[in-house]
């Protein structure tokens, strides 16, 4: 009896409900959390009821970058979303070093610093600008600026695989490639790698390449643009009507000669390539979805007439041979730098009463698109009400169905200063999230003043513009939740004075938004109400990622770095900060004295009552 009473009155430890691991570990295995690029991670430890208890557990400071042979500019810190795999955090810095870090302690597990080989490659000036890494089959995969992809053993950091010279000997190329650190994605033993072209008038011929990761052999290439010198039949030949289709009609003579000095002269070029967003693979149907960059030169289209297929597009390719199934161009004949960067999301949505595979995409023109994954048909689009639009006619193609393929620049024939809204950074400069049957997107107003310039080979003239100045005075951000079924707005959340860059993270019924105002805005995913404002301090150029550490707790990992919008390095090494829920200290034996005393007292009272009852019964018998 005494033992039973004692166990009933002992207190439980409050920390148990916060720190016990959820069923299964939460992992963040790719740039955008998972193979479908949804920026959603399932976990139940951190939610609306306790998110205010997040506190810093540890900080990992990045060292000051040292020069890297082959890089013209070595970037500081990291902009790469930290992966979390089986308790270990992985990230790559802008000085190319890959770190594996214990997710609970912040201690380094291993590092890897690659050596670049740029000899004989068509590379422009290379800068440290690494967008991310991916985890696949036990390895960490990294794309390096020297047109190579490497796989590192996730446990040891040892080099497992290296595929080199991916941009060497590209047919029809007379331009240059650059570094953007977009890691490969996979379909079984096939690695899909996207080139990043140098923007402006020395742009290389953008392509997607597939390699067998076991043999290192090239399987196929798909090209975004025709070869240097141009091809008047490019649109029709690259998308035969019998096997391929798109939303913008082919135009004979599209892209012109791709040279300012005439066909075959090798002069400055126009062109486009894949965007800096990770492709996404539908392994069930064997389809690769790739987004593409803006047409270059960005603001002056004099020498690239036509819609400029397949710039500013989402493209579906057969994984087995690279042939194009369909394309959806968002801004024909782009004159605004409205690329379709950032993530392309693959998910299921119930549309018209039927559940189907959908590709979701937000582009810098500010529109969000939902496309049938198998056909490319537009299911719906969302035009954020808060986004201001001025001088962006072609970018409104989804709404108007019209564009001009011959307009040389946006305020033609004037050569005076113009005000472009959305500006050079667009209206969406971040990854979207897909969770709870909704799409979450951060849109912003950040207009740009500029003046058209002759297309040239030096300075800002490589973009056909000069004097670009952002309108900070009227900057603001609005985050939207959109129903995935029909594209209607569920709620909006306003952040004044700053634009937005990075990504949105969905987890635990919350949306996490790291902002340039120094806060991680934590929003209820269903209502749009603020659940908590986690103030970090410095401007946040990236969003957070989440995952389970070796101690069983879920941590939130936030990069700190660039202090200003548009500065990928900012001269600040920065650090990685890890947050987890507040955990009370383990109770000492003295903390149990009141409970023990109460238990003993209760036991004594019960025994006395029992004995007293027994004495009464005995007295009655007498």
| Ramachandran quadrant class, 611 (left: phi over 0; alpha: psi -120 to 50; beta: rest) | alpha
Q: For residue 609, what pLDDT is reported?
A: 47
- Please say whether the beta carbons of 441 and 479 come within 8 A: yes
* pLDDT tens track for 412-453: 999 999 999 999 999 999 999 999 999 999 999 999 999 999
pLDDT bin (cut points 50, 70, 90) of residue 197 is confident
Give residue for tokens 């990043």.
196
Between residues 601 and 258, the one the model is more confident about: 258
By mean pLDDT, which of 283-297, 482-496, 569-583 is the weakest? 569-583
Phi and psi, residue 589, nearest 5° = -65, -25
- Token pair of 517, please? 């105002």
Alpha-carbon torsion 387, 390, 396, 399, what sign? positive
d(CA 272, CA 302): 15
| Residues forming beta bridges with residue 534, ordered by sequence position | 520
- Please say whether the beta carbons of 361 and 368 come within 8 A: yes
Between residues 264 and 229, the one the model is more confident about: 229
Mean pLDDT confidence for 215-222: 97
- Please say whether the beta carbons of 503 and 32 come within 8 A: yes
By mean pLDDT, which of 233-247, 355-369, 566-580 is the weakest? 566-580
d(CA 75, CA 20): 39
- Token pair of 2, please? 């005494």
* pLDDT tens track for 133-151: 999 999 999 999 999 999 9
From the list 189, 194, 182, 196, the residue with the least C-alpha distance to 216 is 189
Q: Count of alpha carbons within 13 Å of 247, Cβ hemisphere only?
A: 26
Mean pLDDT confidence for 210-215: 97
* pLDDT tens track for 493-502: 999 999 999 9
- Token pair of 409, please? 């620049």
Using the predicted structure, report yes or no on whether residue 171 has a pLDDT greater than 70. Answer: yes
Q: For residue 329, what pLDDT is reported?
A: 98
Using the predicted structure, report yes or no on whether residue 12 has a pLDDT greater than 50. Answer: no
> End-to-end CA distance of the chain, in Å?
29
Using the predicted structure, report yes or no on whether residue 592 has a pLDDT greater than 50. Answer: no
Buried b (16+ CB within 10 A) or exposed e, 388-398: bbeebbbbbbb
From the list 198, 49, 190, 68, the residue with the least C-alpha distance to 123 is 198
Between the alpha carbon of residue 254 and those of residues 173, 249, 389, 405, 502, the distances in Å are: 17, 11, 27, 9, 34
By mean pLDDT, which of 24-33, 36-45, 253-262, 397-406 is the weakest? 253-262
Percent of the chain with pLDDT over 90: 77
Measured from the Cβ of residue 385, the count of other Cβ atoms closer than 10 Å reads 10
pLDDT bin (cut points 50, 70, 90) of residue 193 is very high
Q: For residue 19, what pLDDT is reported?
A: 31
By mean pLDDT, which of 67-71, 255-259, 419-423 is the weakest? 255-259
From the list 60, 57, 136, the residue with the least C-alpha distance to 93 is 60
Give residue for tokens 């019964």.
617
Q: For residue 74, what pLDDT is reported?
A: 87
Arithmetic mean of pLDDT over the chain:
89
């Amino acid at each position: 009896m005494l033992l039973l009473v004692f166990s009933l009155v002992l207190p439980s430890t409050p920390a148990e409900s916060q720190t016990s691991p959820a069923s299964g570990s939460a992992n963040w295995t790719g740039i955008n959390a998972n193979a479908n690029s949804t920026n959603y991670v399932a976990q139940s430890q951190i939610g609306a009821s306790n998110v205010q208890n997040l506190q810093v557990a540890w900080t990992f400071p990045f060292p000051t970058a040292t020069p890297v042979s082959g890089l013209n500019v070595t970037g500081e810190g990291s902009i790469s979303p930290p992966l979390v795999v089986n308790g270990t955090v992985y990230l790559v810095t802008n000085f190319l070093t890959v770190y594996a870090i214990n997710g609970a302690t912040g201690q380094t597990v291993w590092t890897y610093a690659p050596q670049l080989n740029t000899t004989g490659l068509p590379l422009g000036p290379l800068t440290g600008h690494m967008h991310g890494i991916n985890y696949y089959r036990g390895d960490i995969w990294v794309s390096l600026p020297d047109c190579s992809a490497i796989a590192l053993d996730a446990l040891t950091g040892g080099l497992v695989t290296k595929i080199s010279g991916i941009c060497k000997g590209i047919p029809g190329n007379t331009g240059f490639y650059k570094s953007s650190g977009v890691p490969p994605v996979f379909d079984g033993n096939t690695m899909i790698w996207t080139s990043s072209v140098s923007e402006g008038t020395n742009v290389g011929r953008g392509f997607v390449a597939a390699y067998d990761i076991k043999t290192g052999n090239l399987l196929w290439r798909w090209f975004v643009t025709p070869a240097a010198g141009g091809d008047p039949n490019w649109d029709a030949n690259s998308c035969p009507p019998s096997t391929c289709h798109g939303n913008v009609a082919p135009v004979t003579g599209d892209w012109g000669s791709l040279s300012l000095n005439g066909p075959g002269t090798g002069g400055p070029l126009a062109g486009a390539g894949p965007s800096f967003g990770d492709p996404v693979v539908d392994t069930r149907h064997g389809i690769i979805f790739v987004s593409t960059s803006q047409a270059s030169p960005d603001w002056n289209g004099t020498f690239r007439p036509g819609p400029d297929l397949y710039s500013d597009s989402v493209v579906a390719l057969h994984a087995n041979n690279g042939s194009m199934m369909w394309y959806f161009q968002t801004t024909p004949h782009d004159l605004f730098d409205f690329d379709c960067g950032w993530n392309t999301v693959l998910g299921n949505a119930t549309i018209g009463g039927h559940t189907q595979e959908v590709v979701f995409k937000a582009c810098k023109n500010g529109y969000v698109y939902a496309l049938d994954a198998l056909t490319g048909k537009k299911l719906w689009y969302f035009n954020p009400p808060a986004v201001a639009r001025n001088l962006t006619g072609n970018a409104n193609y989804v709404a108007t169905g019209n564009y001009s393929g011959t307009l040389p620049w946006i305020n033609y024939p004037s050569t005076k200063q113009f005000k472009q809204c959305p500006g050079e950074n667009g209206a969406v400069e971040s990854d979207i999230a897909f969770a709870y049957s909704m799409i979450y997107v951060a849109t912003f107003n950040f207009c740009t003043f500029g003046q058209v310039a002759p297309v040239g080979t030096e300075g800002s003239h490589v973009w056909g513009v000069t004097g670009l100045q952002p309108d900070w005075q009227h900057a603001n951000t609005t985050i939207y939740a959109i129903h995935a079924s029909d594209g209607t707005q569920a709620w909006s959340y306003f952040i004044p004075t700053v634009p937005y860059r990075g990504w949105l993270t969905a987890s635990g019924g919350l949306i996490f938004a790291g902002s340039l105002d120094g806060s991680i805005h934590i929003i209820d995913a269903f209502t749009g109400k603020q659940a908590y404002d986690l103030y970090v301090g410095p401007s946040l150029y990236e969003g957070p990622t989440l995952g389970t550490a070796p101690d069983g707790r879920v941590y939130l990992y936030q990069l700190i770095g660039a202090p200003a919008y548009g500065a990928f390095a900012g001269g600040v090494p920065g650090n990685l900060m890890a947050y987890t829920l507040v955990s009370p200290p383990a109770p000492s034996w003295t903390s149990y004295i009141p409970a023990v005393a109460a238990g003993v007292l209760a036991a004594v009272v019960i025994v006395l009552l029992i004995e007293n009852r027994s004495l009464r019964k005995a007295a009655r018998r007498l």
